[in-house]
Structure 1
Amino acid sequence: MIEVAVIEDPAAAEATLDPVRARLLAELSAGPASAAMLAGRVGLARQKVNYHLKTLERHGLVELVEERRKGNVNERMMRATAASFVISPTALGAVQPDPGRSPDRLSARWLLALAARLVRDVGALITGADRAGKPLATFAIEGEVRFASAADRAAFAEELASSVTALVAKYHDETAERGRPHRVVVAVHPSLRPPPEPEPRPAPEPAAGEER
């Protein structure tokens, strides 16, 4: 089982968006199970689970691990083909985000379009590398910075842009005959705040005559 699979086929993407199939994928990413085993976990009839499993198998989202005889039936042990899945914007066809339409480095929507293209392109590269049996050379870095003010944030962005521009100019070689272009994407956005923890419920008052 691979760690992450990128879904490019619209029909496969639609299959994962069904709540029941999404639950089955989650169960099967944790380990192999049969339709009978899954039926008890998700509260559905085995025949209904079988129907959903066949749909997921047809789109390459689950696979057969083992087939064994149990009583009068053959039990098919299935598992997810990946631990997690990402739907590529390619599945959206003509309506997928296009960062070339309105490039604006201060636009959150343009950042989202860049992120969508990153998922699409890296997904296609992973697929091609897997088919060719070759490793894929990538690099990513992540961090978090707490700005004291909006002015500091703006200054950081300008300094970051200057540094990246200088690095690109230093290493870019338009004349390299066997060189391969690489895309550089750098983004800064506010971190999501963790959801507040629920307040503890007060203990119920004891009924009359009961001891505390």
Structure 2
Amino acid sequence: GAPPGRRWGAGPRRRRAPGLRPGGQDGAGRIGRLLLQRLKPFGCTLLYHDRLRVDAALEEELGAAFEEEVDAMLPKCDVVVLNMPLTDKTRGMFDKEKIAKMKRGVIIVNNARGAVMDTQAVADACRSAHRRAGGDVWYPQPAPKDHPWRYMPNNAMTPHISGITIDAQVSRSLLCFQVRYAVLQGAGLPGAQLHCQGRQARQPVPVK
């Protein structure tokens, strides 16, 4: 039963589950596609925007619908996830006007770079109690003591530590060993990136 003096029930602790909630994603590169794959089993309505649309077979596999205009996608989403690279075009892209297009109560998750968001616009939106934000990236970084994201309500920000897990450290150590071993054997660097005609191809780079 309930503790003395307290009533049993969900009450204010009730939360909404991710299933069937519309989720929008800006950016469908490698990380974005992996996220869509992981969200599919929850039964979410998945929308995505990217300058390059993925092929139809992959869209069907992911269960994701393409949105040609990000401004048209934002009002449809309960959760908006940012996965785009930081470029001259994306710097400060999510400003006061973009955030205003989102639903009341939306959750904004920044997996990209802190600078793709307007710092003050995000802080103001979270203080309004109509928007919530989460992420592991800041701008500038490390964040100064007076950074508004440190003190804004309705946030789940972390200081760029989400990738520092025991498993990640083991993987990095193994990768360092593999690279050093490959170099000493003269076999080239595993997984090195070569830029060929504007596209990236994974090929070993010979070590002289």
Relative to its length, the structure with more helix (as a share) is 1
Higher relative contact order (CA 8 A, sep 6+): 1
- TM-score of the aligned structures, taking structure 2 as reference length: 0.24
- TM-score of the aligned structures, taking structure 1 as reference length: 0.23
Relative to its length, the structure with more strand (as a share) is 2
Larger radius of gyration: 1
